[in-house]
Every structure is written in structure tokens, then in C-alpha cells.
Structure 1
Amino acid sequence: MSSVKEKIEKIKGIIADTALSCGKKPEDVLLIAVTKKKSMETVKEAVQCGAGNFGENYIQEATSKIDIIGKEKACWHFIGHLQTNKAGIAVKYFEYIHTVDSFKLAKEIDRQAKAIDKIQKILLQVNISKEKTKSGIDAEKIFELVRQIHTFENISIQGLMCMPPYFEEPERSRPFFRTLLKIRNDINTCQFLNVSLNHLSMGMSNDFKVAIEEGSTMVRIGTSLFGERS
């Protein structure tokens, strides 16, 4: 058994145990293997070892991998900052875009998706910690963004995404995850047309268990599967 396979099975086991401990089904939490800066061989091995969802941060790096590995055995998630002028490439290659944080970007994604007759699944990134170094829309502005884009015909708003500050102690991330859950629930209560936010993309290698306890449906795991980035 390869070390990657062992790590994938270990993480899936922790996800399942954590989900069950808080009354959820293991299959309700998606493991996204974050493969930025990882070799083609590593990604191929992860596919063979049962990782079906992959997160990439950089358009150029990702497209070269997707061109070779394809989309039949892998579902691709864009989880990095997306420039508006790269939206068309992202729409062509990715099933999910997790990092939509402006009307301008959402409008361009909708336009590009319409051009290829696609309904693009997106998540809205919220800068839950108000860190200037991180992308994402302010929590106070998220309702207005949903109000502006919920009628776009070629995007499907699937949920919210956040990246809290890094803490050595995972428990310190809990308030940020809890806040995103509340925002998601409040948006759903508003009953916007065509908006039912089922997903929360939150939790990484150091804090994904806490994230699941607070409602995460997508955890983005890189280091625990593949080691530190070189």
C-alpha cells in the first residue's frame, strides 16, 4: 500500500468518524485533495488511490494536469484567487469555482459559461477574518452580492467558502467556521430565487475536524496527504 493511499484512507476515516460523531453521514463531507505544486505523478497516484476530488490554486498549473488526467475519474475544484481575465479558462476546466468574491467576477463567469452552454457551480468566498492579505468579500456585503447575482442563468451558487487565520490550536478556528455557517443559514432563510446553499468549503489539514463539527461539507486537504510544499 502506497503512503499516499494510506494517508487518503486515514483522512477519509477521520472525516467519517468526525461526521458520525456530530450526527452527519460520512458521504456528506467531501475530501478535496489539494494538489497545487504537486507533480503529475503524485496526482495520478492520488487518483489511483481513490481521491476523486482535486483542488488547484493556479490556472496554468491546473490546466496542464487536467489536460492529461481528464475529468472522468477526477472532479476539479478551483480554490485559488481568480482573476477576471482567467474566468473563461476556469469555466472550461473546473466543475466548481470556490473563490468568487465580486459582482464583476460572477458576471464574467456567467458570461463565459453561457458561451459554452454550461451551468457553472460556484461558491462565494467570504473574508471571515477581515485579513487584508486574503481574498474574499466582507461578511457585511455578502447578502448584497447574492442579491445582485442570484438571477444569473449560467451560474449555480452552491455555497460559501472561507479561510480563517492559521492557528496552531485548531479550536481557535471554530468561531470563524461558526460565523460562516450562520451566514449560510441566514442567506438560505432569505429564500433568494434559485439559491439553496448546500455547501460550506472550510477546513484544511490542521483544522478540518473542527470545520466538520461546524457544518463543513468540503474540506481542502493538502499537507496531511502529500506533505509540506517544497
Structure 2
Amino acid sequence: MTSIPGNLQAVRERIARAAVACGRHPDAIRLLAVSKTWPADRVAEAADAGQRAFGENYAQEGADKVDALAERALEWHFIGPLQSNKTRLVASRFAWVHSVDRLKIAQRLSEQRDPQLPALNLCLQVNVSGEHSKSGVAPDDVPALAEAVRALPGVRLRGLMCIPEPTGDEALLRERFATLRRLLDALNERGLALDTLSMGMSHDIEPAIAEGATIVRVGTAIFGDRTRSASPDA
């Protein structure tokens, strides 16, 4: 059985080393434990080890865990592709959505968010690799979408997310992450005041942090190999 507390500590140490190596404070990077496909008792084990923020890819599976672990006051992030027929479920259960790539989804989340809940934090998913099979808005289309989303009630645009193509080329990975950082900088120059770069997973934490990641999404390095295939991997 994978030791979740030990794995969490190892990942936190990786984050700290990567931050120090590029002159950043480790506290500037949040660890999001990607718990997709894992049962609630494994999430609870991570929570017992001090982890508070968890990421889910599947709306119903994630909602079931939110409900099962409600007494723990965890912070839940939806990070997978989101279909229109699942927005109500996500809007009612999650604190963050990282995978907004079209205005229609943002509008539905806005309309379906309970006004008594805090604003739902949103990140726009950007296709920094140009892959036809990958979700995400094209970089050139980010400014218009960001301006539209930030005007919606009940949601708060926080930043950008990306999932680069798998590669062992660290220079290429850094360039993909740098593309996202430059987009965020350009949006902030327009007055959007965004603070979040959601990028970096189990295999590429270090280059993501070097390029400014504020949230890294880590699953396998914490929970172990998954029991079923899921995309995107973390």
C-alpha cells in the first residue's frame, strides 16, 4: 500500500527545493492533491496528513467525495473537462474550476452558483501546445474570453491553467509554461489582477515552478498509480 503521508512529505520537499532553486518562497506554491479515481478513504488519509486542497476530474465522482467528506471542510477543485450537463453539480460542490475553455461553461457556472456561497474561483484552460486532441482555449483567444468571464456574477476569474504535451524535453516544457506566464502577465497589464498559474504535475513540478506556477496538481506522486486510465494525468 502506498504511504500517502510519506509521499506527501516527499512532494512538499520537491516543491520547496524547486522554489528555493529559482529564488521563490515555497509558501508561494500550493499543492493540489489530484484524487481522481481514488476512494474517499484515501482522500481522508491525505487529509489526516495535513493536505487540504484536492482535485477531481469527474463531476459525479468528485461530488460524491465532497459529500462523503463534508465534515472535514476540505477545498475542492474541479480540474477535468466540463460538459454543460455537469455544470450545476460542479457549481454547487466545488470552490475552484481550473478547466474553463469557453464562455458558455463560465456562464452556466455563474448562473448555477448559489448566491449564498462564496464566488466560484475560475481558471481558463489554455492549449499551450496547439494539440488538436487537447482541451483549452487558443492563446490568441485568451484576452477576449478573460474579459467576458471576469464580468460574470457569482464567479471570480483567478488565472490560467495548462497541460502541456508529455515530453522529456525540459526546455520545451519550460517554454510551454512560460507561454502561460506571459499570457497572465499580459492580462494583468490590462487590469485583470489575476494571481493564479495552475501548471505542473507529478513529472514536471520543477520546470513549472521555475516559470511561476502558483498551484501544482499532483496525483500519482501522492496516491500511486491509478486503478483506471484517466486523462489528463497528474
CA contact (8 A) 1:126 1:142 kept: yes
> 2:215 maps to what in 1?
218
1:35 maps onto 2:40 in alignment = no
TM-score, normalised relative to structure 1: 0.93
User: Which residues of 2 match residues 53-68 of structure 1 at below 5 A?
Assistant: 53-68=53-68
1:199 maps onto 2:202 in alignment = no
Distance 2:16 2:173 in 1: 20
CA contact (8 A) 1:103 1:148 kept: yes
> 1:143 maps to what in 2?
143
> 1:158 maps to what in 2?
158
User: Which residues of 2 match residues 1-230 of structure 1 at below 5 A?
Assistant: 3-70=3-70, 72-113=72-113, 116=116, 118-191=118-191, 195-230=192-227
SS in 1 for 2:98: strand
Distance 1:168 1:146 in 2: 31
Q: 1:147 to 1:85 in 2, by over 3 A?
A: same
1:104 maps to amino acid:
K
Gaps of at least 5 residues in structure 1 are none
CA contact (8 A) 1:170 1:206 kept: no
Distance 2:153 2:51 in 1: 31
The Cα shift of 1:114 comes to 5.3
SS in 2 for 1:211: helix
Moved more, 51-60 or 109-118: 109-118
Backbone CA RMSD of aligned residues = 1.5
Q: Among the aligned pairs, what percent are the same residue? A: 35
CA contact (8 A) 2:115 2:154 kept: no
The Cα shift of 1:115 comes to 5.1
Moved more, 113-122 or 201-210: 113-122
The Cα shift of 1:171 comes to 4.0
Distance 1:115 1:83 in 2: 22
SS in 2 for 1:158: strand
Q: 1:182 to 1:165 in 2, by over 3 A?
A: same
Distance 1:73 1:111 in 2: 24
Q: 1:21 to 1:136 in 2, by over 3 A?
A: same
CA contact (8 A) 1:33 1:53 kept: yes
Gaps of at least 5 residues in structure 2 are 228-234
> What are the superposed Cα offsets for residues 63-118 of structure 1, whole Å, 9 maximum, x if unpaired?
11111111644110000001122111111111100001111111111111255554
Distance 1:18 1:128 in 2: 22
Distance 1:54 1:92 in 2: 16
Across the two proteins, how many residue pairs are aligned to each other? 226
